[in-house]
Amino acid sequence: MSAPAAPPDAAIRTSGLGKRFGHQQAVDGLDLDVPRGAVFGFLGPNGSGKTTTIRMLLGLARPTTGEIQVLGEPMPRALASVLPRVGALVESPAIYPFLSGRGNLHRLDAADPGTSSRTRRARVDAALDRVGLGAAAGKRAGAYSLGMKQRLGLAAALLAPRELLVLDEPTNGLDPQGTREVRTLIRSLAADGTTVFVSSHLLAEIEQVCTHAAVMRAGRLVAQGALDELRRATRTHLVIRTPDPAEAAATLGAHGVVASPGPDGVTAELEPATAIEDLVRALVEHGVRVRGVAVEGDTLEDRFVALTGEGFDVAG
């Protein structure tokens, strides 16, 4: 029995998606829901199943289990009607090293039956300019740096207007200036109505450009939602400096807060709705000498590391 079609507000939806390579389960029971118009960050350590998932979304790998809807149509059955509406940069972009950057894009554009040769040069030049390769358009692509090759791959994905853009590690090999330019490009595409699906192991990349995110760990989805919701799910810690740690812990415990006493005070993990001022008032009323109060919130990095059990590269 096939899954119902994705609703109009879903650019990507998967149900129970899985991929096995021999005895290795690369992706396991993945339920993704990517809203249209979102900049959706697909985050996880290297080897967590991100690229395998993207290859299945684009019809480059066949799922072992589960179903996929892209732009409201089943994949890979609807490849012919879906792919012209999708731009993608997956792994290292394939280039002809003996051709110039412009020549590479001319050849790609000519291979698309839906494009017009009359407007090809303008379309190619616009894509090159948008990724900052206009000045190097005539240079042989084999002499491009890694970052320039990555830009050329982005330009190829932007040759035609797209409803969905899928980018796998789009800032790989770029210097800080190039990284900032790619982020600006992603924001401008989203402002134009394009849904952008960005896979990355760089937490800063996700935080700075994305509206939604999903977190993978060892092939499984461990969190998903609007980025603001994921931030709100981070934990808050209360730190009370007091010479009466045992009494403070007992008082907080009577108010439903489990506190750990230490030599200089107590620490406690709080629920989101906890009224901290009421706890401090209770401590004072019970004779606890309060010398200082601090509220420390987990960062989004802390949250994701807790979910995956691994660290992330937070460099931008």
Q: Which tens digit of pLDDT belongs to each residue from 217-237?
A: 889 998 898 887 877 766 677
What is the sign of the dihedral through the CA atoms of 57, 170, 11 and 211?
A: positive
What does the alpha-carbon distance between residue 130 and residue 39 come to, in Å, rounded to a whole number?
A: 19
For residues 209 and 182, give the distance between their C-alpha atoms in angstroms, rounded to a whole number: 10
At 115 the pLDDT is 82
Quote the mean pLDDT of the chain: 86
Report residue 315's pLDDT band, with 50, 70 and 90 as the boundaries. very low
CATH number of 235-297: 3.30.70.260
**Neighbour-count burial of 15, counting CB atoms closer than 10 A to its CB (0-12 exposed, 13-18 middle, 19+ buried):** middle
For the stretch 53-69, pLDDT in tens is 999 999 999 999 999 99
Q: Give the residue extent of every domain in the chain.
A: 10-231, 235-297
Q: Among all chains, which residue has been given the structure tokens 């790619």?
A: 182
Cα(253)–Cα(298) distance, rounded to whole angstroms?
22
Q: CATH assignment of 10-231? A: 3.40.50.300
Residue 315 is which amino acid? Answer: A
Q: What is the mean pLDDT of residues 269-280?
A: 80
Q: What's the confidence (pLDDT) of residue 298? A: 62
Q: What is the Cα–Cα distance from 246 to 244, expressed in whole angstroms?
A: 6
Q: In the structure, what pLDDT confidence band is assigned to residue 316 with cuts at 50, 70 and 90?
A: very low
Q: Which pLDDT does position 297 carry in this prediction?
A: 65
Residues 6+ apart with CB under 8 A from 58: 75, 83, 86, 88, 90, 166
Q: What is the pLDDT of residue 53?
A: 95
pLDDT, residue 314, reads 45
Which strands form 39-43's sheet, in the order they lie side by side? 86-89, 164-168, 195-200, 39-43, 212-217, 220-226
Provide the token pair at 270.
Answer: 């709080």
Q: Is there a common fold for 10-231 and 235-297? A: no
